[in-house]
Amino acid sequence: MARSASTHSPAKKLVYTARLVGSPVFDPIGDKVGTVYDVVVLLRFRGDPMAVGLVVEVGGRRRVFLPLTRVTSIDNGQVISTGLVNMRRFAQRPAETLVLAELLERTITLKETGESGTVLDAAISNVRGREWQLTTLFIRTDKKSTGGSRTLTVPVSQVSGLMRPAPNQGVSSILSQIVGLKPADVADVLRDLPSDRMQAVAHELTDERLADVMEELGSDDQASILTALGIDRAADVLDVMQPDDAADLVADLPTEQAAELLEQMEPEEARDVRRLLTYDERAAGGLMTSDPIILPPDATIAQALAMARRADTPPALAAIMFVCRPPLETPTGRFLGVVHLQRALREPPSTMIGSILDTDVDAVSPSDGIGTITRLLATYNLTAVPVADDGLLLGAVSVDDVLDHLLPEDWREANEEETDEALEARHG
């Protein structure tokens, strides 16, 4: 069957599944191991699907899994492997899709023209080293307005419907597909689901994981999920969110629901949220987090770096530490200055951070607007600025919180940039 010219670079050799199936698989010394039965891919919600292995039929019609990392060559109608083949019978996992058995004949839509079509064949490409991706589809369109269908070759990135979860896809299957994704990419997945399925998936995430994901969702989706969780679980999730993000979420809720949630939260966390709610949302007080890294001047470099390494500290806040007199809970004692992570890395672990203070970083007041904060961040190449009142540190505004308020409200929903995060069911 003739195929139209591919839009991919000639340097990327395409291996079509329909032609690959039935090809012999050899070990390095030329002995036949078996024949290719199918290709296993991971349909990612962001980026081209990953091709992770081959289903190989060995003697006695036994089917086993051969990772593509153990394939050294696919050429001239044959596959050469490293010789290491696990003879355990292949069992398909929830996140895996078989190209021949499940993708062929699937209905897709061309993004540019809106035409619907059917997948006739799919090709994998060796993108780097022994990493393969499903990059190309051979499809037949069904455009009745032009008097008939046509066949063409298109990149996977130019079609929709192939990688999106079906409305009735099981929660366990979706959960297996989002393992390892960054919170922002999980949020993209949830936005594509029907409301009831989104809530069901959110319910199965841990409090910490859900809190990270909630911070990447729009206010409507946040409210929908929070309401479906119930008061007790919703309060637990708010407890582990960044205080500024929790305050933004609570501010968008009906007054009665917000009050009930604040009552159910841990007293210390609720206190921080209540304080943030008293400020204008586009002023420093409304943008700040009340939980940056705060240390006394006699803390050592080793202690400071340990704080920066905490998994729950966002990167923008890990890059700068705020030094204050006790008490160290906001509002603190007198604000003394900041220590930059890069400078701390150049000092011996036993050095006290009070000896490397940067006192030239001016604090903003809680009433200062977003324009003042933006100019400070840009002028001094900072990732966060301190917020103080009468010399006492109240919190810090990070660059990511400023960007959230400078971008259009629906920027998360419009985001279509690809991520390098991969779903790896069998391979790390």
Q: What is the CATH number of the domain that holds 263?
A: 1.25.60.10
Position 60 scores a pLDDT of: 67
Q: Do 6 and 130 reside in the same domain of the chain?
A: yes
Going from the C-alpha of 301 to that of each of 246, 349, 357, 359, the distances in angstroms are 31, 5, 12, 17
Domain check: are 356 and 306 in the same one?
Answer: yes
Q: What is the reported pLDDT for 48?
A: 84
| Same-domain pairing of 175 and 152 | no
Q: What is the CATH number of the domain that holds 47?
A: 2.30.30.240
Tell me how long the chain is.
428
Question: Which parts of 278-325 fold into alpha helices (H)?
Answer: 284-287, 301-308, 315-318
Is residue 410 in a domain? no
Domain count, the chain: 3
Is 61 inside any structural domain?
Answer: yes
Q: Which one of 130, 159, 188 terminates a domain?
A: 159
Judgement on whether residues 90 and 127 belong to the same structural domain of the protein:
yes
What residues make up the domain containing 365?
A: 294-403
Same domain assignment for residues 42 and 137: yes
Residues 116 and 63 in one domain: yes
pLDDT at 417: 37
Domain assignment of residue 416, yes or no: no
Report d(CA 261, CA 322) in Å as an integer.
30
Q: Does residue 428 lie in a domain region?
A: no
Same domain, 142 and 201: no
Position 421 in a domain: no
Residue 54: predicted pLDDT? 94
* pLDDT < 50: residue spans in the chain: 1-11, 145, 166-168, 414-428
Query: 3-class DSSP state for residue 12?
Result: coil
pLDDT attached to residue 2: 38
Q: Are residues 56 and 113 in the same domain?
A: yes
151 and 59 in a single domain? The answer is yes
Comparing CA positions, the residue from 306, 237, 298, 251 lying closest to residue 279 is: 251
- Within a 10 A sphere around the Cβ of 91, how many other Cβ atoms? 8
Give pLDDT, residue 410: 59
Same domain? For 155 and 175 the reply is no
| Same domain flag for 129 and 188 | no
**Quick one: pLDDT at residue 10?**
42
Contact status, residue 411 vs residue 400, Cβ threshold 8 Å: no
